[in-house]
Structure 1
Amino acid sequence: MRRAILRLFAGLFGLLLIAAAVAFWGWQQWIGPGPSTEQVNVVIPKGTGVGGIAARLEQAGVVADATLFRAGVLAEGASRSLQAGEYAFDPGISPAGVLAKLRSGDRVLHQVTVPEGLTVRQVATLLQAQSELTGEIEKLPPEGRLLPETYAFERGDSRQSVIDRMAAAMDAALQQLWEGRAEGLPIDSPDEALVLASIVERETGIAEERPLVAGVFTNRLRKGMRLQSDPTVIYGVSDGLGTLGRPLSRTDLKTPTDWNTYVIAGLPPTPIANPSRAALAAVLDPAETDYLYFVADGTGGHVFAASLAEHNRNVRAWRAQQRKDRVSE
């Protein structure tokens, strides 16, 4: 009897040693490096259970054994805290590290940059090309109502949600800048500021010129002069596309549209593009200057003038430079 009891205890002790050895091995596998040798991105769809997640991770080479990973998740009591989304797993990340990332929701963020001066339709086309986004854009805001910036999003976000964020960002920027506007401006509302800022945006891509260009247009509005802005003509004759694909002609400048500021007085009825925060700031606090004219200088910038005679000299110089450049080509 005594020998039987000793054998029983010996057997139990052996089982305990085996269990301890298995547990130790499992723990080492759980905290030790995984099999991946490079960063791996894995998408976990919504509604995927622990088994499905483990299988995806094993298939992607992030964990060596789906069963072991599933057992670790269950042992941690974490089966309901795993979050769907796209994750980037570092080379050699341990199963424990994988679980921590899935619980934290540290998902991959993608980015889309909206350049200044695009039309709303051009921005929509840009978003359509983002394969990580989903769905169609069912509602576009009016022209000019999207703030050009870089926006982060997660795989699976809807295109409409990104558009809505851009519109909200523009509303916030416009309201903030309008409240701090300079006194005595010849514009009466945030909407008019948006229209003028869109023209400034399309006239120059040089940051330091924006306040000067805004100052020219502010002066012309105060004097009742027509703005005579080429980009407004382009917007009208291109049916709001914002680009022509050819040089403007004299016929274009004489073609009546609601946006042709060679023909109409004051501001056009809508923006012609989405202006940047910097263009809005320039319009709402323009440079104090006596300039009334500007023309391209051939280097990407502009030459400014206070009188028509000076401006005409600048125009002749610009045309001479154009002729010289054509001869040298």
Structure 2
Amino acid sequence: MARSRTSTRLAAAVALLALLPLSGLWLWKRQGPQHPPSMLLVKRGTTVDALADQMERDGLIRSAAMFKLWARARKLQLIRGEYTIEPRASLSDVAGKLRRADIHYTNIILPVGAHAWTVQRRLRDFIPEDVFWTLWKSPRLARTAGFPEAESLEGLLAPATYRVNHAQEPEEILLAMVEAFRDKVLPGLEGGALPPYPTLILASLAEKETRVPEELTKVAGVYAQRLRIGMRLQCDPTSLYARWAAGDLRFTAPGPEDIRRPSRFNTYAVAGLPPTPIAIPSAAAIEAAKVPQMGKDLYFVATGKGGHSFAPSLAEHNRNVGVYRREIKRQKRALHG
């Protein structure tokens, strides 16, 4: 009888040992506890143990202990990033994402013509506003761009699509944009009529003045001619930039108060170029600023049909302004029947 009881216990122990791998596999493949999709952030300096405990507390995995055993067995190297954890993801699913470094990125587009406030709005989910404006005036980032004399990063970011995630540091995100400028834009600023930084500033004015690529060299030429003879540039987009720099973020057409605003950015109020670019210029605008089409024209005004009329004298310019106003009235009458 004793021998029979011993045999029974032995058989039970053997059966239990046989079940252990199966139970472990079941726990490994079992659906996870969390219901909605979640974001898992692996930040710089995160350890496997700390991450496992955090995931268990947040309800992303059922067993931190099992994750730690797996991570040690696989010698898991955590890759900093943002990971999307699907509903009911198993421990195996979560571990696989981390092992593959299956990082979730968000595409941020910085278009030609974007200025500081555009960039800030597009990055607000990744960089707190106060941090953004501090970094915007970072001398270190300006030096990286190639212009240590620049007082801000305005115009010093390359127009492109950037992949970012919430595990990145704010400075790291802006650094990538500045490095893209240094590598792709900076070399093209050499060899123009003006030094590189003034060329960039002039290009930004032309960029904001016209949406017609064929007009860029003529617009840049008018401003270059005015610079040559000491005439104020009277660039409408600089009066808007001065408005925004003063904290008035209305995005409407400039009014008389904007034209009169005392600001070193407002080229109606001060002579010469503004102290920084006023936006990200296109490659075509930079080429136009390097070789502006300088002739007799000193004025231009919109036609109301998408382009501009250029004139060498104020009298002719005023006639063009009259044509523009009549065109706008005609369009309003046609719109309202």
TM-score, normalization: structure 1?
0.70
* Structure-1 separation of matches of 2:284 and 2:28: 55
| Other-structure match for 1:90 | 86
Query: 1:74: Cα distance to partner?
Result: 0.5
- Residues 217 and 240 of structure 1: is their aligned pair in 2 closer, same or farther, counting only changes over 3 Å? farther
The structural deviation recorded for 1:252 is 6.2
Pairwise CA distance, 1:124: 7.5
Partners of 1:173 and 1:280 lie apart in 2 by 15
Q: Cα–Cα, structure 1 residues 75 and 173, in superposed 2: closer, same or farther, change >3 Å? A: closer
Q: CA deviation at 1:88?
A: 0.4
Report the equivalent of 1:151. Answer: 162
After superposition, residues 149-298 of structure 1 pair within 5 angstroms as 149-179=160-190, 185=192, 187-204=193-210, 206=211, 209-218=212-221, 221=224, 224=228, 226=231, 227-235=233-241, 247-249=254-256, 261=267, 267-278=272-283, 280-283=285-288, 292=297, 294-298=300-304
- Out of 290-299 and 139-148, give the one that drifted further: 290-299
In the TM superposition, what is the alpha-carbon distance from 1:47 to its structure 2 partner? 5.9
Instruction: Give the whole-Å Cα distance in 2 for the aligned partners of 1:88 and 1:264.
Output: 52
What is the alpha-carbon distance in structure 1 between the residues aligned to residue 129 and residue 240 of structure 2? 32
Distance 1:37 1:81 in 2: 27
- Mapped contact 2:110–2:119 kept (Cα < 8 A): no
CA contact (8 A) 1:112 1:152 kept: yes
Question: What is aligned with 1:74?
Answer: 69
Aligned residues: 312
Task: List per-residue Cα deviations over 1:188-241 (Å, max 9, x = no partner).
Answer: 32112111111012213x3xx235223332365258464442223444577666
Cα drift, residue 98 of structure 1:
0.8
Q: Match of 2:68, as an amino acid?
A: V
Letter in 2 for 1:203: E
Structure 2 Cα separation of the partners of residues 255 and 7 of structure 1? 99
* TM-superposed deviation, 1:19: 1.7
Q: Is the 2:112–2:282 contact (alpha carbons within 8 Å) kept by the matching residues of 1?
A: no
Name the Cα RMSD after superposition. 4.3
Q: 2:89 is paired with a residue of what secondary structure?
A: coil
Deviation track 1:151-201 (CA, whole Å, cap 9, x = no partner) reads 33332533333333333333333323235x6xxx5x232112111111012
AA in 2 matched with 1:177: G
For 1:8-47, what aligned pairs fall within 5 Å after superposition? Answer: 8=6, 11-35=9-33, 38-44=36-42
Matched residues in 2 for 1:231 and 1:306: separation?
20
| Conserved? CA contact 1:39–1:88, under 8 Å | yes
Give 5+ residue unaligned stretches, structure 2.
Answer: 139-150
Identity among equivalent positions (%) equals 24
**Cα distance in 1 for residues equivalent to 2:14 and 2:120:** 65
* Alignment-mate amino acid for residue 26 of structure 2: Q
Alpha-carbon spacing, 1:192–1:132, altered in 2? closer, same or farther (3 Å): closer
| 320 and 123 in structure 1: CA distance in 2 versus 1, 3 angstrom threshold | closer
Structure 1 pair 134–161 and aligned structure 2 pair: CA distance change class (3 A) = farther
Please, which moves more after superposition, 147-156 or 20-29?
147-156
Question: 1:37-69 CA deviation, whole Å, 9 max, x = no partner?
Answer: 653223356666656544543455433x22xx5
